[in-house]
Structure 1
Amino acid sequence: MLLRNQDWGEVWHALTSYRPTVLLLALGFVVCSFVLFSSYDLLGRRYTGHRLPARQVLPLAFVCYAFNLNLSAWVGGVALRFRLYSRLGLDTPTITRILGFGLVTNWLGYLLVAGCLFTLGFPKLPAGLEIGSSGLRVIGIAMLIAAIGYLLACRFAKRREWNIRGQQITLPSWRLAALQALMGAGNWCLMGLVIHTLLPEKAGYPTLLATLMVSSIAGVITHIPAGLGVLESVFITLLQGQYSQGTLLAALIGYRAVYFLLPLLVACVTYLVLERVAARQRGRAGTSATEGEAG
């Protein structure tokens, strides 16, 4: 309904008007974001104590993140992570703990960033929305309480281990939890910077970042891979008074191209390389075992 009367000529004009320097800056933020997100698994290595080197962990985490963004968490976050880590010799409980730790890192950062923005009144909601600005502030305060509660638990809790359905849950140290907060919040801020780079200076970075926060949780609730259509609908609804639809759509198409599709293409190639390396390692292991039996 929002795009029914869209002037696609305006969108095309906005897309072709991007200067190379703007696109390079946006790509720079994308690279920083993916490096930072992939480093969540390095925190997971420290948390679980496994000894896989960073040269194996970072490419694996990058592939999982790119597939997660485009094809849902079940494909990238769960299935691929279990497949790739198990091929490197990690057992299921360790992989589960890495996965859970990464999820906590990501959503801890979300709670902190979104909580601060919503509490400060960003974004300004259009008249007629049931939740209203006051309701959004209450949600923001609740988010901050939840995030701070986790950090305080990591600092002061006396009981630090639980066993739930056969899975051991251990609170990380205070320093590790602080790194989770910084890295998680930093990644969300970098995502907002990509969109901010592709849009003219009107709404301001806090408003754009807060709108991204709303669209991200809306995408999770609707279970649509990559939030396709959800991201665009939220941005157009909340920012239609400050930007034309064509300008917004051009920026969001550019955002999807540089943050979703381009990394996915690189991740596909990386995944094939990882599979080939794993196959070679299995072949060498099989040859060694055969030679050992012969000896």
Structure 2
Amino acid sequence: MPATLPSRPAAGKHVVSPPRAEAASRGALRRRCRAMLASRGGRWLGGALMAGVALLVVWLLVHQALEVDWPAVWRALRELPPRALALAALLAWGSHLVYGCFDLFGRHAVQHTLSVPRTVAITLIAYPFTLNLGSLIGGVSVRYRLYSRQGLSVGQIAQVVLLSIATNWVGYFVLAGVVFWVWAPPLPPSWAIGTQQLRWLGLVLASTSALYLGLCALRGGRALRLRGHRLPLPGWRGALLQLLLSCANWSLMGGAMWALAQGRVPYAAALATILLGAVAGLLSRIPAGLGVLEAVGTAVLAAHLPVSAALAVVLAFRALYYLAPLVPAALALLATELWWRRRQPLQGAGAAVPPAPAPRSASRPAG
């Protein structure tokens, strides 16, 4: 009996192997999910969920604010000595200056032509907007507006912002690991996380920074490629400098809080207030973490100070670190906008007038 030959597919038909069919089905499912999220109903659902979370946080903050003895808080604010305020302001402005160097890592990776002072100035203008309006409005949109007018492309700006974000958090993770493990802050019993869980969380965060340093050492300054996107990485020396500058920035913030408390609380408690307040404000999605930092600071510092005095310290910190730098940053942004608008008509007028053609000499035909 003759052997049966395998049947060939009919002409014009394409046989898809099982692995390819499975990959195609997964791709189709991802496309349907993206389309669902991008649809009007998906956007409304996402917005409703975020609004619900924000309303819950606001309700909790208002409920807590109604229980505060505000006259006592006002008295504690007025009793803050000028020397403590001056020292806290000095440390706060020092932190802003250190943060102003974060975009220099992106400048080195992107190799753009902006000078060091101009790069630092752009970062100093954007940082107060980041603190008070959120990272998307302040850290991204203000940077994009300022950098794009200096000739940087969208891809270059994205790389600068990504390296700045990495610089900010690589030191945060290390300090959080040290503070939460060595000196776990006393947390209210109503919080869902306990002291031991906080210590393990700090260890995980510190390990993340260690992995980042190891990755930078292994890559040797070569960028990562992820789905067609280029993610710049510094070498191990640059990553170590990122870590040091970030630790200095967060430490100066904790020092400003400690100075306002006039040394009546351990420095670790002041630093823990900053660290916990930063991540709580980020998770709450409320611009500037308004009310969240105050709630965290009152919970942590109340173990060493009266509640009114603890809240007064946090409110004074917000005024010095968040609000005070916003005024010169807004004025600087306004000045750059006015300068750019005055410069644009000049450039347009220069481009609208073409150069005059060279005159031709009159020649007579030979007689």
- Does TM-score exceed 0.5, indicating one fold? yes
1:73-222 counterparts in 2 under 5 A?
73-127=135-189, 129-157=191-219, 160-222=222-284
SS at match of 1:2: helix
Q: Which moved more, 1:123-132 or 1:194-203?
A: 123-132
Q: What is the distance in 2 between the residues matched to 1:187 and 1:161?
A: 26
Contact 1:59/1:270 (<8 A) preserved = no
Aligned counterpart for 2:103 among listed residues 41, 46, 53: 41
Mapped partners of 1:234, 1:290: distance in 2: 58
User: Which one of 238, 247, 265 corresponds to residue 300 of structure 2?
Assistant: 238
Corresponding residue number in structure 2 for 1:265: 327
Distance in 2 separating the partners of 1:161 and 1:42: 17
- Equivalent position of 2:121 in the other structure: 59
Q: Which among 13, 21, 40 is matched to residue 83 of structure 2?
A: 21
Per-residue CA deviation, residues 220-260 of structure 1 (Å, 9 max, x unaligned), is: 00101111111111122233232112101211111111111
1:108 is displaced (CA, Å) by: 0.6
Aligned in 2, Cα 1:26/1:294: closer, same or farther, shift over 3 Å? farther
SS at 1:131's partner residue? coil
1:279 aligns to what? 341
Distance 1:135 1:198 in 2: 29
Determine the structure 1 residue equivalent to 2:351: 289
In structure 1, how many angstroms separate the alpha carbons of the residues matched to 2:196 and 2:116?
Answer: 45
Q: Distance in 1 between matches of 2:356 and 2:250?
A: 56
Equivalences for residues 241-256 of structure 1 within 5 A: 241-256=303-318
Asked if structure 1 preserves the Cα contact closer than 8 Å seen for 2:220 and 2:235, the reply is: no
TM-score (norm 1): 0.93
Could you report, residue by residue, the CA deviation over 1:66-122 in whole angstroms, capped at 9, with x for unpaired residues?
A: 001001111111111111100111011100000000000001111111111112132
Deviates more, 1:207-216 or 1:102-111: 207-216
Number of aligned residue pairs: 295
Structure 1 residue runs without a partner (length 5+): none
CA-to-partner distance for each residue in 1:116-149, whole Å, 9 max, x for gaps? 1112132133446442221111111111111011
In our comparison, the structure showing a higher alpha carbon Rg is: 2
Cα deviation for residue 10 of structure 1 reads 1.6
* Further displaced range: 218-227 or 271-280: 271-280
Rounded Cα–Cα distance in structure 2 between residues aligned with 1:88 and 1:159: 26
Provide the C-alpha distance between the structure 2 equivalents of 1:6 and 1:232, rounded to a whole number of angstroms: 11
Would you say the 8 A contact 2:163–2:232 is kept in 1?
A: no
Q: Is 1:227 matched up with 2:278? A: no
Give distance in 2, aligned partners of 1:226 and 1:159. Answer: 34
Pair 87,207 (structure 1): closer, same or farther in 2 beyond 3 Å: same
Answer 1 or 2: higher relative contact order, Cα 8 Å, separation at least 6.
Answer: 1
Instruction: Classify 1:95/1:259 alpha carbon distance in 2 versus 1 (closer, same or farther; 3 Å).
Output: same
The answer to whether structure 1 residue 68 and structure 2 residue 138 are counterparts is: no
Between the aligned partners of 1:263 and 1:68, the Cα distance in structure 2 is 11
- Cα RMSD (Å) of the superposition? 1.9
Identity in percent: 35
Q: Cα offset for 1:158?
A: 6.7
Q: Report if the CA contact (8 A) 1:93-1:167 is conserved.
A: no
Most deviating of 201-210 and 83-92: 201-210
Amino acid at match of 2:103: D
**Structure 2: how far apart are the matches of 1:158 and 1:261?**
40
The answer (yes or no) to whether the contact 2:109–2:233 under 8 Å persists in 1 is no
TM-score by length of 2: 0.76
CA offsets per residue over residues 7-41 of structure 1, 9 Å max, x none?
Answer: 22221221112222222111111211111111111
User: Gaps spanning 5+ residues in structure 2: where?
Assistant: 1-62, 358-367
The answer to whether the 8 Å contact 1:121/1:133 transfers is no
